[in-house]
Amino acid sequence: MASLLYINETAVLIGDGMKQTKEARRMPGVKKLHQESENFSKAEYIFGHLFGAVGILMGTPQKWFCLPLFINLQNDVKTIFS
């Protein structure tokens, strides 16, 4: 049975975001997004969706993994920081 990872009596949560490119520019939620890639062959901007996720670390001291708790489509920076 897997247990949660606690540090200072607080469960460890992990947050991350992912940009998914989309071909259609008129699709709901598609925005112009800046690429943070160090690869110069990629375009500086893409059109797509920005997804955000929050998960909790669980497992054993030999192997930890992240169990997703919440994933949603981010609209703007205000949504990410709330």
Walking along the chain (82 residues) 10 residues at a time, the average pLDDT comes out as 84 85 74 78 80 90 90 66 60
Which pLDDT belongs to residue 41? 79
* Cβ atoms of residues 73 and 67 within 8 Å: no
**CA distance linking residue 7 with residue 13, whole number of Å:** 11
Residue 9 one-letter amino acid: E
Tokens of 52: 């955000």
pTM for this entry? 0.62
Among 71, 65, 73, 80, which Cα is nearest to 2's? Answer: 65
Q: What is the pLDDT of residue 56?
A: 93
Closest CA to 79 of 56, 42, 48, 54: 54
pLDDT value at position 5?
Answer: 86
What residue type is 54 in one-letter code? V
